[in-house]
Amino acid sequence: MKKQNLLAIGLMTFAMFLGAGNIIFPPFLGLEAGTQYLPAMLGFLLTAVGLPSLTLIVLGRLSSSGQLTQALPKPLAIAFWVLLFTAIGPAFGMPRAVTVAYEMGIKPFVEGDHLLIFSVLFVGATLLLAFQRGKLVDYIGKVMTPLLVLMLAALAVAAIVTPLGVFNAPSADYQYKAVTSGLIQGYMTMDAIAAVGFGWIIIKAIQDKGCESPQEIFQATVKVTVVYALLMSACYLAMAYVGATSASISEGATNGGELLTRYVAEIFGPLGQYLLAGIIIMACLTTTVGLTNACAEYYQQTFRSPFAITTIIVTVLTGVIANFGLEQILAISLPAILILCPIAIALVLTALFLPTTKRNVTAYVTIVSITVVFGSLDALHILGLLPEPLVTPLNDYVPMFEAHASWFLPVFAAIAISKILARKANSEAVELSEKAASLK
């Protein structure tokens, strides 16, 4: 593949991942980390960028996102993908992107409620770009992303050249365990689940540019992932630095969005609001286009559903939910996402060590079952729905429960045991084959 095509797909990948949350979350993290900025960001990047990167590389090695669940029984595999695309698509991810784009990109400049008009225009733009599936790399990778990178670079350069202050003392969570706190916060971005969904588009884009063999697809995926990882890491570091040097304007701020709004107003004046609005709207638009295409790509390949019809349904549902039912849908879909994310990561980790073939169906089903059990505990804990008498013993006896990752060690143990059993079975099969050959 030509280098410019690899770069364009890498830029497209970065833009699809870069939602409003990826921009407004790091500033508050940087503010809380203060003088522990570097160790906190080291931990954060390991999970916030490392997990999605690992997911993309594993999917590239499989040459198809669908192969990730190939070892599972078909009904279970379909249920996983349908729930995933529903949750990150029209039920949660996309409506949230629409409302955040409106709240931060339009609402500060207008009076009254214009969400309905904005959402119609926004999902309309999403639909138009999504229909250009063959030109998605050109539109997002070669046009929209460079503009987005330039706007983010303006914020980063301003923070470095004219910082508003010095690093504060770290908050309690970052004072003694900065790396661990960063790891937890990076995991909670849940970009790993988005990586599983976006894998359908990225691999398809690579194939459309001429890569056909598994080796070519894998090599291209690794290079695309490097571009994504470098850009996303730079973005996170810059936005966190903005927050870390903004203590003088942070009083009363409760989230990174407020902090970033104050920062751009202080540095750039009235024009700063327009700059931030442009960044947020464009980041949300590239995300909704990517999610729409991922949903449509899956339904077309799995159910032979026409791409255009699926795209229209997804965008229409997104617009409706963004206006009338987002809070209720969040209450329903957030627990699903909190459970689906560890399942997705567990499948990726398993695919690293065990072939995704029906021969390993028992191992895959066992690992998914373990993840569902412990992932449900983590989800209930995060949502504050776990009975208090259970929290203390779980904290005491379940490793990584406090970090909302109690599923990790049981899953890793199950993978290790499955790998040992698989090797033993292969060794016995070889011995039987050799004995049969000697008898002949």
pLDDT of the residue at 147: 86
Task: Say yes or no: 218 and 250 in one domain.
Answer: yes
pLDDT of the residue at 21: 83
pLDDT of the residue at 148: 86
Average pLDDT over residues 254-281: 87
Residue 440 predicted with pLDDT over 70: no
Task: Say yes or no: 32 and 137 in one domain.
Answer: yes
Which CATH number belongs to the domain containing residue 279 in this structure? 1.20.1740.10
Q: How confident is the model at residue 325 (pLDDT cuts 50, 70, 90)?
A: low
Task: Say yes or no: 317 and 370 in one domain.
Answer: no
Task: Say yes or no: 14 and 63 in one domain.
Answer: yes
Task: Say yes or no: 319 and 390 in one domain.
Answer: no
pLDDT of the residue at 326: 61
Q: Of the candidates 324, 349, 374, which is a domain's last residue?
A: 324
Task: Say yes or no: 276 and 362 in one domain.
Answer: no
Average pLDDT of the chain is: 90
Task: Say yes or no: 143 and 275 in one domain.
Answer: yes
Least confident of 12-21, 124-133, 255-264, 428-437: 428-437
Average pLDDT over residues 413-417: 96
Task: Say yes or no: 167 and 309 in one domain.
Answer: yes
Q: How confident is the model at residue 91 (pLDDT cuts 50, 70, 90)?
A: confident
* 354: containing domain: 327-440
Q: CA-CA distances (angstroms) from residue 320 to 293, 343, 347, 402?
A: 19, 29, 33, 37
Residue 92 predicted with pLDDT over 90: no
Q: Of the candidates 324, 349, 373, which is a domain's last residue?
A: 324
Task: Say yes or no: 134 and 282 in one domain.
Answer: yes
Average pLDDT over residues 176-181: 91
The fraction of the chain above a pLDDT of 90, given in percent, is 57
Q: How confident is the model at residue 271 (pLDDT cuts 50, 70, 90)?
A: confident
pLDDT of the residue at 328: 67
Instruction: Kindly report, residue by residue over 355-372, the tens digit of the pLDDT.
Output: 999 889 999 999 999 999
Task: Say yes or no: 195 and 122 in one domain.
Answer: yes
pLDDT of the residue at 329: 67
Residue 422 predicted with pLDDT over 90: no
Q: How confident is the model at residue 95 (pLDDT cuts 50, 70, 90)?
A: very high
Task: Say yes or no: 198 and 345 in one domain.
Answer: no
What domain count does the chain have? 2
pLDDT of the residue at 372: 95
pLDDT of the residue at 19: 86
Q: Of the candidates 306, 324, 342, which is a domain's last residue?
A: 324
* Buried-exposed string 402-435: b where 16+ CB fall within 10 A, e elsewhere: eebbbbbebbeebbeebeeebeeeeeeeeeeeee
Instruction: Kindly report, residue by residue over 7-37, the tens digit of the pLDDT.
Output: 999 999 999 999 888 888 999 999 999 999 9
What's the whole-model pTM score? 0.91
Task: Say yes or no: 256 and 400 in one domain.
Answer: no
Q: How confident is the model at residue 138 (pLDDT cuts 50, 70, 90)?
A: confident
